[in-house]
Structure 1
Amino acid sequence: MREVTYSRKIRFQFLLYSIFLFLLLEVLLRLPYFPSVQFRLVDKKLHCLETSGSFFSIPWMRLCSNQSLDLYHPEKNIRYHVSTDFRGERITSPVVTDVPESAGRNSYNKGTPEIWVLGDSVALGYLVSDQESLPWALQNELVQNKRTGIVRNLGVDALGSFGIQERLTEVLKDSSPPQAAYWIYHISDFTDSFRELELQNSVKKRIFVRVSYILSKYSAVFNAFKIVYEKYKPESAENLVIPSSGSVLGPDHPHRQAAISLFKFVKENKIPLILVFLPEPNETYEPVLDSALVKEVRQIAIDSEISVLDLQKPIFDFWQRSNREIFLPKDGHPNPTLYRFIAEEIVKSTQQ
């Protein structure tokens, strides 16, 4: 009897010490000595999960509304500012429109034609401040060329073709089709299609994503564990881009099916989609043209009668001519210089 009581006492003490250690680590890891953990906690203030439906519904990632955050990515030594409006869309202009949330999207543009920028972190403007993002640069180009149109940034981190279609479904509930919708294609969409298909087919995966999101939003210990895990297993990091060589999209490949579904959706809903291709960065952050994946996706778009704006060669020529960096160091996302050039090319394409 004494042995049973002693064993319970040991287990109880172990539990107490474990809780104490966990809480102590939660406090210590939030100190300035751990900037990587701090970045992840602050970054999660910007990202929310779509809560429509039940706990078992697909958890789509969205930007949180009414945010104004200064972020510092310690591994890449980049500081940037992100602001969102009451819809959870990144701000694309210094002009603040005072519209109550209940007013609806159409009251926001007041009859002015809209231009939508779709895609993942490239469209969103990852690691650059609001005024350095592509949608902001595109809005500036329209103003300078005395063109009408309000640019909306519908980009969301790690959003694939399935996710873009779902995003458009949400926006169309309160908005008319735009004057033009530019999908800034990124090769990470290849892996995103697998992840999004798994979310659609697996309830366990949906629950896992929701639990992981909650832990990453509130737990410094969980974020520290993820940092260490991704350091020693880089393929587990978010937004991993695969090398694209050889034929990669079979007839039943999830990425092909997702792209075809999206192209069919935009045609049915009268959304004038333009698929924009950019060069990929190599290991030394130099632009690479026409990877196998890009070639195949471009052909799928052409076969689906979707407009294509291929900026790979113009960007490559600009890079050679100007001798300027066009990708963020230690990262590979476009830098402000490249975003401005893309915006100029988009406006030029509408004048032809």
Structure 2
Amino acid sequence: MREVTYSRKIRFQFLLYSVFLFFLLEVLLRLPAFPSVRFRLEDKKLHCLQTSENLLSIPWMRLCPSQSLDLYHPEKNIRYHVSTDSKGERFISDGKSTGLSSYNANTPEVWILGDSVALGYLVSDQESLPWALQNEFIKDKKPEVVRNLGIDALGSFGIQERLAQVLENSPPPIAAYWVYHISDFTDSYRELELQNSVKKRILVRVSYLLSKYSAVFNAFKIIYEKYKPESAENLVIPSSGSVLGPDHPHKKAALSLFTFVKEKKIPLILVFLPEPNEKYEPVVNSALVKEVRQIAIDSKITVLDLQQPIFDFWKKSHQDIFLPKDGHPNPALYRFIAEELAKDIR
């Protein structure tokens, strides 16, 4: 009997010490000495899961509405500001929110679709592509209003869902530019799994809550990602042959999106940019990009291929066009892309 009581006492003490250690780490990891953890917690203030009465529904990621955040990414030594309007869309000019135009059906809109490249990851509002494009319209005294519909880690399935949501309150735009990025390749696997697995949806919701509120959880994620082989992101996917088979999730997702925009009469333009290699130099016509471009052409989707013009711009200007230690476009490249989109619309 004494042994049972002693064993229970040991277990209780272990549990008590574990809880104490957890909360101690929660406090310590939020101190300035751990900037990576602090960045993760601050960044999560920008990201919300799409709410639904059904907790088993697909947890699509959205930007949180009415945010104004000054962020610092310690690993990449980049400071930037992000602000969103009441609709959870990033601002595209001073004093004007992207959502205002949806109240006036007569205002022509241009939508920028995609993931972190369209959103403007690691650059401030005024350095993002949609903001730069809005400036082009202002200079030309054009009435078009740009909407930044980009969201981090959004694949083709997610873009289709995002468009369906926006169309509930807005008519189709005069142009919708999908800025293609190679991360869509892996995002398609993740989004397909979310569609088919209730367990995966629950895990995503739990992971989101932990990453939003727990410093300890974010610390473990940082350590895990550091030693993951695939942690090098935004780089060209190497391939010696065909990348997309007939039943590949990425191909199916793209075809589904192309069918959707035709049905909804959305004038989609697929924009291709060069991808960075390990030296952060632009690479034109990677195997994946060539295949996706052909799928779009076969589906009669308009393609705006800026790979070669951007490569020529990089060669001529002798300046970097990707963010150091990252691979996303820098402000100079976003301005160049905006000029090209403005020419296309003219």
Taking structure 1 as the reference length, the TM-score comes to 0.95
2:143 to 144, 148, 152: 148
Residue identity opposite 2:102 in structure 1 = N
**Residue 285 of structure 1: SS of its match in structure 2?**
coil
Q: What are the superposed Cα offsets for residues 201-227 of structure 1, whole Å, 9 maximum, x if unpaired?
A: 011110000000000000000000000
Secondary structure at the aligned position of 1:142 is classed as helix
Change (3 A) 1:97 1:38: closer
Q: Distance in 1 between matches of 2:169 and 2:98?
A: 18
Contact 1:37 1:223 in 2 (8 A): yes
What is the one-letter code of the residue matched to 1:66? S
C-alpha separation between the residues in 1 aligned to 2:9 and 2:97? 62
* SS in structure 2 at match of 1:45: helix
Aligned to 1:166: 161
Give the letter for the 2:241 counterpart. Answer: G
State how far apart, in whole Å, the 2-side matches of 1:98 and 1:278 are.
24
Output aligned runs, 1:91-170, within 5 Å.
91-96=91-96, 106-107=102-103, 109=104, 111-170=106-165
**Is residue 184–residue 275 contact of structure 1 (8 Å, CA) maintained in 2?**
yes
Unaligned runs of 5+ in 2: none
Corresponding residue to 1:315 among 310, 315, 336: 310
> What is the alpha-carbon distance in structure 1 between the residues aligned to residue 134 and residue 229 of structure 2?
37
Q: Give 1:110 deviation, angstroms.
A: 5.8
Are 1:203 and 2:198 counterparts? yes
Q: Which amino acid aligns with 1:180?
A: A
Among 231, 247, 256, the alignment partner of 1:252 is 247
Question: 1:238: how far off?
Answer: 7.4
Cα separation, partners in 2 of 1:236 and 1:283, compared to 1, 3 Å:
closer
Q: How does 1:333-352 map to 2 (within 5 A)?
A: 333-351=328-346
> Aligned partners of 1:290 and 1:242: how far apart in 2?
11
What residue number does 1:264 align with? 259
Instruction: Spell out, residue by residue over 1:231-279, the C-alpha distance to the aligned partner (whole angstroms, 9 max, x if none).
Output: 1124268778633542100011100000000000000000000000000
Aligned to 1:46: 46
Q: In structure 1, how many angstroms separate the alpha carbons of the residues matched to 2:39 and 2:235?
A: 19
Task: After TM superposition, list the pairs within 5 Å mapping 1:162-311 onto structure 2.
Answer: 162-235=157-230, 242-311=237-306
2:221, 2:91 → 1: CA distance?
Answer: 30
**Does structure 2 retain, via aligned residues, the 8 Å contact 1:105–1:174?**
no
Kept in 1, the 8 Å contact 2:111–2:149? The answer is yes
Q: How many residues align?
A: 346
**Match of 2:16, SS?**
helix
- TM-score, normalised via structure 2 length: 0.97
The CA distance in 2 between the partners of 1:12 and 1:132, in whole Å, is: 54
Give the AA of the match of 2:13: Q
8 A contact 2:130–2:148 mirrored in 1: yes
Tell me the amino acid that sits aligned with residue 311 of structure 2: F
Instruction: Supply the distance in 1 between the matched residues of 2:240 and 2:133 (Cα, whole angstroms).
Output: 32
Take 2:140 and 2:310, find their aligned partners in 1: how far apart are those partners?
21
Where 2:292 maps in the other structure, the secondary structure is: helix
Q: SS of the residue aligned with 2:340?
A: helix
User: C-alpha displacement at 1:55, in angstroms?
Assistant: 1.0
Aligned partners of 1:158 and 1:239 also within 8 Å: no
Which residues of 2 match residues 13-32 of structure 1 at below 5 A? 13-32=13-32
Alpha carbons of 1:170 and 1:342: their partners in 2 closer, same or farther (altered >3 Å)?
same
Mean Cα deviation higher: 49-58 or 117-126:
49-58
In the superposition, relative to structure 1, how do residues 237 and 314 fare at CA in structure 2: closer, same or farther (>3 Å)? closer
Q: Superposition pairs for residues 319-330 of structure 1, below 5 Å? A: 319-330=314-325
Aligned equivalents of 2:14, 2:249: Cα separation in 1: 47
**Partner letter of residue 146 of structure 2?**
V
Kept after mapping to 2: 8 A contact 1:188/1:242: no
For the aligned residue pairs, the C-alpha RMSD in angstroms reads 1.6
Q: Indicate conservation of the 8 Å contact 1:81/1:128, yes or no.
A: yes
The SS at the match of 2:189 is helix
Contact 1:114 / 1:152 at 8 angstroms: preserved in 2? yes
The CA deviation at 1:169 is 0.5
Relative to structure 1, is the Cα distance of residues 225 and 189 closer, same or farther in structure 2, using a 3 angstrom cutoff?
Answer: same
Contact 1:56 1:206 in 2 (8 A): yes
Three-state SS of the structure 2 residue aligned to 1:85 is: coil
CA spacing shift, 1:72–1:15, aligned 2, 3 Å: same
